[in-house]
Amino acid sequence: MPERRQHVRVTGPFEGHWRGGSGATECRITDVSLGGCFVETVLQPGVGEQTDVFIDFGSGHTITLAGTVVYAQYGVGFAVQFRELTADETAALKEHLHLT
């Protein structure tokens, strides 16, 4: 199967939380890229739900990114595809993920 991802992925974990129409809770965020991330959590939104993901990179550096849930695995977590990032969001994410 060919690789469908367009962006380099960085494996966490990163601590954080998420918030959407179906709830909000703390979580662990893994497999982050400029296109999206995977959120490990027991409570999860439904596929298609708009969700904000707050990624804590430590030392008071938290980035908030909005996206859409594109995949959910019951009891494990869900994947978020970020909406188009602003220039500032892209720069901050690249800095914290050490992407050039």
What predicted TM-score, i.e. pTM, was given to this entire model? Answer: 0.87
- Which has the closest alpha carbon to 69: 90, 50, 92, 83? 50
- With left for phi above 0 and alpha for psi between -120 and 50, is residue 74 left, alpha or beta? beta
Look at residue 2 and tell me whether its pLDDT is greater than 90: no
pLDDT per residue over 48-68, tens digit each? Answer: 999 999 999 887 889 999 999
Contacts of 1 (CB under 8 A, 6+ apart): none
The mean pLDDT value for 32-44 works out to 92
pLDDT computed for residue 41 by the predictor: 93
Where do the domains of the chain lie, and which CATH numbers do they carry? 14-93 (2.40.10.220)
Look at residue 98 and tell me whether its pLDDT is greater than 70: yes
Centroid of chain to Cα 6: 15
- Confidence class for position 1, pLDDT limits 50, 70, 90: very low
